Amino acid sequence: MKNFRFMLISLLALFVVFSAAGQAPAQKLSAEDVIARHLEAIGTAEARNNVKNQVAAGIVQFTVLREKTGGEGKIVLASEDNKLLYGMTFNMPTYPAETIIYDGKKSKIAFAVNNARSQFGDYVERYREILTEGLLGGTLSTGWSLRDLPSRKAKVKLDGTKKINDREAYVLEYQPRKGSDVKITIYIDAENFQHLRTEYRRVISAIMGLTPNSSSQQREERHTMIEEFSNYKKVNDVNLPHSYRVYIMTDSSRGIREHEYRAEFAEFYFNQELDPASFNTSSK
């Protein structure tokens, strides 16, 4: 019995040793390493360079979360170099369309209805670096910031890892060269190095009132926008997300407003002759 027990203990010890030997140690990567592997996850350098422009089209569901209202529509992201057309249409009289354009230098965020922008449009208008830095739309845009980081001269710092939904992700803190009032965080899957999420967060301190009593009634504002990307599939030799979610939240003294967009892309086009007017930011 003693020998049998000794054999079990020995076998268990060997199993632990071999199991540990078969596990790859956690890799200590730099921000540059993570970005390089992320680019490889999109496609080879040749495949990426072969994409001069791309168009992603699909359907989108818009929801005002606290009111549980909204509608379904169509979405298109067309890009060429650093230019971007981000358009959505809805069968809703109160929100017929969303149009965001960046021509590589100037941007245009159109009014949604009655000379007023949507919460989405207002966020991008307020924090235009989301457009100018090539962040909006992630890899769905040819102008994706991490594809040409040296020319942007942005600072990117690796800040460990974090669980995003059910995936372990590297956390990249992104700071534009000219700075930003928004805290920008990019999450890259720690296993396959695909882009999972970009978060944009701004906290505005409470203002001082005219009296101590009025000051106590003031509170800080929180502006948040989150883009999530999933369901990656290879199209034209590059891996692109087919599922896309945008969440926008404003928390102020006027209350909390939350809007959500959930898109599914079914059509992708590459290297088409895009109408230059698609990226025209001139007011009509």
Per-residue pLDDT of the chain in tens (284 residues, 90 and over written 9)? 444 343 333 333 333 333 333 333 346 899 999 999 999 999 999 999 999 999 999 999 999 998 889 999 999 999 999 999 999 999 999 999 999 999 999 999 999 999 999 999 999 999 999 999 999 999 999 999 999 999 999 999 999 999 999 999 999 999 999 999 999 999 999 999 999 999 999 998 766 555 554 445 566 899 999 999 999 999 999 999 999 999 999 998 888 999 999 999 999 999 999 999 999 998 65
Q: What are the φ and ψ backbone dihedral angles of 29, each rounded to 5 degrees?
A: -110, 155
3-state secondary structure of 173: strand
Q: Token pair for residue 246?
A: 């945008």
Q: What are the φ and ψ backbone dihedral angles of 258, each rounded to 5 degrees?
A: -135, 125
Say what the pLDDT of residue 27 is: 63
Q: What is the DSSP letter of 43?
A: -
Say what the pLDDT of residue 253 is: 80
Say what the pLDDT of residue 66 is: 87
Instruction: Report how far apart, in Å, the C-alpha atoms of 195 and of each of 7, 76, 77, 117, 168 are.
Output: 48, 19, 17, 28, 12
Are 281 and 80 spatial neighbours (Cβ–Cβ below 8 Å)? no
Say what the pLDDT of residue 275 is: 93
What's the whole-model pTM score?
Answer: 0.86
| Domains in the chain: ranges and CATH | 27-268 (2.50.20)
Residue 46: other Cβ atoms inside 10 A:
8
Please list the residues that pair with 264 across neighbouring strands: 59, 243
Residues 6 or more apart in contact with residue 128 via CB below 8 angstroms: 107
